[in-house]
Amino acid sequence: MGFVNQSDQAFTSLKYSIRMKLSVVIPAYNEEESLPPTLRTLYQTLAKHGIPHEICVTNDNSKDGTLRVLEQLAATEIPTLVYYTNPGPNGFGYAVRYGLERFTGDCVAVFMADLSDDPEDLVKFYNKMLETNVDAVFGSRWEKGGKVIDYPGLKKFINRIANFIVRVMMGIKYNDTTNAFKLYKRETIEGVKPFLSPHFNLTVELPLKAIVRGYTYAVVPNSWTNRKYGESKLKIKEMGSRYFFILLYCLIEKYFSRGDFRKKTVNAPPQTVSR
């Protein structure tokens, strides 16, 4: 787990609690059925909790009515919705990166278009960041309090093996690196650039770079629910080598970069951040 400087934690937490704007980046490819319930639920939840926010959807050059749905929702129902069309290159990682280059908030979460992530969990992430002043909040479906609903058995088996390999190779305790649902401060996102991953391996690149480069994080249990509409864009057979590439890259950076990319911090007594 990372560390937080105690001397300025209270001041910074107060500063962020007054003005911290949340951006939610959502990649979407052929999600015309999933987007309306996802965006309505997300907007209603964030508005209910009084969280200043923007919802940033990247239409990844969809072939269905995704763009039309976004236009209608932005014009009639969801005033905090902004959307872009990524003309290419396309792919999950490219779509997320397109949003991460354009969001305007003080912190940013990656959220799935199919509502597999729970907006109430996002509120917990946001509050955890305010309370602890960590640089990032990582969700875990496998911590006590986390849960998965209708998770395909084979996918779960592969997930647990992959995360075990990440934990052993990187020497970390965090058990859900492949979970895309995470919240980062703007400074953290800037600190893990340049992005390398064009596909789902971006979900591993962002947290591992943050950990290796010395950014602090807290872990919050979250739930995951299988999609109701459409089909998953994750193709496991295509992603194995790509995940492994990013894992090796981060491993090499950890042991051989000599701290060239680490977060620049002032010297102060460290404080361990609890979960």
pLDDT digits (tens, 9 = 90+) for 188-229: 999 999 999 999 999 999 999 999 999 999 999 999 998 776
**Residue count (the chain):** 275
Range of the domain at 176: 7-263
Residue with tokens 């960041």: 129
- Residue 54 belongs to a domain: yes
- Residue 236 belongs to a domain: yes
Q: How many Cβ atoms are within 10 Å of 65's Cβ, its own excluded?
A: 15
pLDDT along the chain (275 residues), means of 10: 51 58 97 96 98 98 96 98 96 97 98 95 98 97 93 87 95 95 98 94 97 98 83 57 93 93 68 47
- Whole-model pTM: value is 0.86
φ/ψ (deg, to 5) at 140: -135, 125
The CA distances from residue 78 to 25, 54, 81, 146, in Å, are 15, 10, 6, 29
- Residue 271 belongs to a domain: no
Q: Which residues contact 179 (CB under 8 A, 6 or more apart)?
A: 138, 139, 140, 141, 203, 222, 224
pLDDT in tens, 239-263: 678 999 999 999 999 999 988 999 9
- Residue 1 belongs to a domain: no
- Residue 79 belongs to a domain: yes
Hey, which bits of the chain come out as E strands? 3-5, 22-28, 53-59, 81-85, 107-110, 136-140, 147-149, 182-185, 217-221, 223-225, 270-272
Cα–Cα nearest to 193, from 55, 97, 88, 63: 97
- Residue 273 belongs to a domain: no
- Reported as type and span, the H/E element at residue 187 is helix 186-191
CATH number, position 120: 3.90.550.10
Number of domains composing the chain: 1
